[in-house]
Amino acid sequence: MEKNMQMNDFENMIDIESKILSTSRDPHQYNGEVFENESIVASTQHQKRFYLESYGCQMNFADSEVVASILQAQGYGATKEPAEADLILLNTCSIREKAELTVRKRLTEFKKIKKNNPGLLIGMLGCMAERLKTKLLEEEKLVDLVVGPDAYRTLPDLISEAEDGQKAVNVFLSRDETYADIAPVRLNSNGITAFVSIMRGCNNMCSFCVVPFTRGRERSRDADSIIAECQELYDTGYKEVTLLGQNVDSYYWNNPETGHNITFAQLLERVALISPVLRIRFSTSHPKDITDDVLHIMAKYENICKYIHLPLQSGSTRVLQLMNRTYTREWYLAKVKRIKEIMPDCSISADIITGFCTETEEDHQDTMDIMWQCRYDYSYMFMYSERPGTLAAKRFTDDIPHDVKRRRLQEIVAIQNKLSFENYSQDIGKTYKVLIEGNSKRSAADWMGRNSQNKVVVFPKGDFSYTSGDYVMVLVHECTQGTLLGTIMN
């Protein structure tokens, strides 16, 4: 999923609050991704068809893969056309107000389709389910079923209830559901890279964040089932797995049979040992939890990618305290220094919020200053969006005017653009091992892949007979602020 957003899309970038640069399977950026998978595309053998759109983070997308698996077992086939569907599902995100507004607009559009097809069922899945169930199901009657992130196993029963004209709702948040035994159907897959969910929920109470309320308590998935899923992916030709959780470094699983405990560092090592040609990435690391053990395991195995997404949120200790992030500016800087000591070639990216409650110009300066010090390769930057029910909504006033939030966002985006271009320019003349993911978006004559540092690399196919999933050495000779351009060295 090569995204390509350039500087001249600046206004648009701010509007979508705000992903910079062109690169990756972005942790925040599914915006109506439609289900696609050849193996269960609807055909005459399927009794019914479903249409599924995903919003929000990679974890939501991974959940959609679990939902597709559950529906497949019920005889459903997939369609990319909402008008052909018997069941339309939106897997929703609540992280910022904008995400919720987009989903609402979409639901209104689907309601129009229902007018011509009264048998059609429309369902809302995921993070918006708990908060908006009554409003969307009973008051506005935009949906027929509402299913929270821990209730997907009950989807078949809920569909039956909705077919009988009942209001079908399950937003129960579990303490132990991890869907460990459900083999996800890979959606929109390039057959090379896949997400593997290793934990659910979050116990951190960052004051701005709605996730602990929408996705419940943190729980880690059975390590053996994670290894089995990664092994299966490798056996079927995948070359890269991204281990997913809101806070992967607090992964901790106790094997009930042996009493043996497994930490994230140990899990990483077990996945790394599946094969030296299976690459491993992970997201997201909380700065307070990433340990030297994890860093040393990353350094020890070439196939664990040298890239850490380390959300900052703010460069001001005062604001970090209000955000309940539990680290200071100095702690964060020391963590970045430690990463670079152990892995000098490790790339770091961040999440940053502008205009959090009470943020002064001085706090904002602290954020800009720390960006220069950390020299992120890229960042995901957002204006603060107050979310109902969060600690910040209860305790503080959302007192920074929108135009100030926006101006500060523009300033940090401008810094990040400079940093990215400078960092990428320093790669010119270097040779990287690149995993080919597919054709470049712009030309079928070029390959697109990534280096260990998660930077997108584009290069001509030339006369070589490489294919997707191959590793290839590429010499970088040019760059944009989000892409390295090179030529094959072999």
Q: By C-beta, is 247 or 316 nearer to ligand SF4? A: 247
The Cα–Cα gap between 178 and 221 comes to 6
Tell whether residue 289 is a contact of ligand SAM (CB under 6 A).
no
Burial 366-381 (b: 16+ CB within 10 A, else e): bbbebbeebebbbbbb
From the list ligand SF4, ligand SAM, none, pick the one residue 387 interacts with, judged by a Cβ distance below 5 to 8 Å according to partner type.
ligand SAM
Task: Kindly determine how many residues on this chain lie close enough to bind ligand SF4 according to the rule CB under 6 A.
Answer: 9
DSSP secondary structure string for all residues of 201-270: ------TT--HHHHH-S-EEPPHHHHHHHHHHHHHTT--EEEEE-TTGGG-EEE-TTT--EEEHHHHHHH
From residue 29, how far is each of 67, 161, 244, 399, 478 by CA, in Å? 19, 33, 15, 27, 27
Tell whether residue 225 is a contact of ligand SAM (CB under 6 A).
no
From residue 252, how far is each of 247, 291, 357 by CA, in Å? 11, 13, 33
Q: In this chain, which stretch among 77-85, 140-148, 205-213, 393-401 interacts with ligand SF4, using CB under 6 A?
A: 205-213
Tell whether residue 321 is a contact of ligand SF4 (CB under 6 A).
no
Q: Among residues 247, 250, 379, 452, which is the contact residue for ligand SF4, using CB under 6 A? A: 247
Q: Among residues 382, 424, 432, 447, which is the contact residue for ligand SAM, using CB under 6 A? A: 382
Can you name the residues that pair with 145 across neighbouring β-strands? 123, 168
Q: Among residues 193, 284, 379, 420, which is the contact residue for ligand SAM, using CB under 6 A? A: 284
Residue 42, Ramachandran bin (φ over 0: left; ψ between -120 and 50: alpha; else beta): beta
Q: Among residues 147, 209, 290, 339, which is the contact residue for ligand SF4, using CB under 6 A? A: 209
What residue type is assigned to position 115 of the chain?
A: K
Tell whether residue 220 is a contact of ligand SAM (CB under 6 A).
no
Helix ranges restricted to H, 31-152: 58-73, 97-116, 128-133
**Whose CA is closest to 307, among 151, 135, 408, 451?**
451
From the list ligand SAM, ligand SF4, none, pick the one residue 96 interacts with, judged by a Cβ distance below 5 to 8 Å according to partner type.
ligand SAM
Q: By C-beta, is 89 or 248 nearer to ligand SF4? A: 248
Q: By C-beta, is 281 or 461 nearer to ligand SAM? A: 281
From the list ligand SF4, ligand SAM, none, pick the one residue 212 interacts with, judged by a Cβ distance below 5 to 8 Å according to partner type.
ligand SF4
Tell whether residue 376 is a contact of ligand SAM (CB under 6 A).
no
Q: By C-beta, is 413 or 476 nearer to ligand SAM? A: 413
Tell whether residue 286 is a contact of ligand SF4 (CB under 6 A).
yes
Q: With 0-12 CB in 10 A as exposed, 13-18 as middle and 19+ as buried, what is 108?
A: exposed
> Could you count the other beta carbons within 10 Å of the beta carbon of residue 483?
21
Tell whether residue 432 is a contact of ligand SAM (CB under 6 A).
no
Q: Which residues bind ligand SF4 (CB under 6 A)?
A: 202, 204, 206, 209, 211-212, 246-247, 286
Q: Which residues bind ligand SAM (CB under 6 A)?
A: 28, 57, 95-96, 208-209, 211, 246-247, 284, 286, 311, 313, 351, 353, 382, 384-385, 387
